[in-house]
């Protein structure tokens, strides 16, 4: 049985204003005041985990301890089983410091070659309390990789990912619709059902 969130303030363990806004909107029905770790002057911990869940947990714990408030963190990426899970937790890093996902997508194409294009996006969420308790959730959306890149919606690897049951990429999908089927949506659904 997951611990319920009964507080009225929640730190989002992120310095990305877009992410903080998005999470804020998702939690609006629960009357939670959302504060970003950046606004509190908390440092961004290094992502040294082995899995998405470990990374999310590390970030959530660091913010909960630093702010003495419950904190929510996420970590996500693209997973290609034919590439032994790559790019995985390093999905963002493969785009380089200039966040060049065009290059990262080309690299995935080169490495995959004629390999199985099955892939999924994974999103991990961790909600940590200052007393050390943590709840963790992982959402996925399965699909396949396809080239050429298609669409200018979304971000990251979206232009090469076609979710199962569709014939368009995440890059071509209306963001409002993507948000109903995405890995992140799935993880948030689990979090909300369990803790809110």
Which residues contribute to the site for a second copy (CB under 8 A)? 50-54, 77, 79, 81, 83-90, 94, 107-108, 111, 122
Least spacing, CB of residue 94 vs a second copy, in Å:
6
- CB nearer to a second copy: pick between 15 and 107: 107
Q: Which is closer to a second copy, CB of 66 or CB of 87?
A: 87
Q: Least distance in Å: CB of 44 to a second copy?
A: 20
Q: Tell me the two tokens of residue 65.
A: 């301890």
Alpha-carbon distance of 132 to 61, in angstroms, equals 7
Residue 75 annotated to the active site: yes
77 vs 171, beta carbon nearer a second copy? 77
The answer to whether 70 and 130 are in contact (CB under 8 A) is: yes
SS3 172: coil
Number of alpha carbons in the 13 Å side-chain half-sphere of residue 55: 21
Please, what is the minimum distance in Å from the beta carbon of residue 68 to a second copy? Answer: 26
**Residue 185 to residue 26: CA distance in whole angstroms:** 9
Least CB distance from residue 40 to a second copy, whole Å? Answer: 29
Write down the catalytic residue from 74, 75, 164, 174. 75
| CB of 37 or CB of 86, closer to a second copy | 86
**CA–CA separation, 55 vs 126, rounded Å?**
9
What is 37-91 written as a DSSP string?
TTTTTPPPPP---SSHHHHHHHHHHHHHHHHTS-EEEEEEEEE-GGGTT-BGGGT
| Catalytic residue numbers, as ranges | 75
């Amino acid at each position: 049985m997951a611990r319920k969130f009964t507080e009225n303030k929640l730190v989002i363990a992120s310095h990305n204003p877009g992410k903080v806004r998005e999470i804020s909107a998702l939690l609006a029905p629960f009357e939670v005041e959302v504060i970003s770790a950046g606004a509190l002057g908390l440092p961004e911990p290094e992502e040294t985990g082995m899995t998405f869940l470990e990374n999310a947990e590390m970030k959530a714990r660091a913010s909960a301890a630093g702010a003495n408030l419950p904190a929510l963190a996420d970590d996500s990426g693209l997973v290609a089983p034919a590439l032994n899970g790559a790019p995985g937790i390093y999905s963002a890093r493969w785009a380089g410091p200039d966040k060049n996902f065009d290059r990262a997508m080309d690299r995935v194409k080169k490495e995959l070659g004629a390999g199985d294009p099955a892939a999924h996006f994974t999103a991990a969420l961790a909600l940590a309390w200052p007393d050390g308790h943590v709840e963790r959730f992982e959402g996925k959306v399965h699909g396949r990789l396809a080239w050429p890149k298609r669409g200018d919606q979304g971000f990251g690897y979206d232009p090469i990912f076609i979710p199962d049951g569709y014939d368009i990429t995440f890059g071509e999908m209306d963001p409002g619709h993507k948000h109903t089927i995405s890995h992140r949506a799935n993880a948030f659904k689990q979090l909300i059902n369990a803790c809110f």
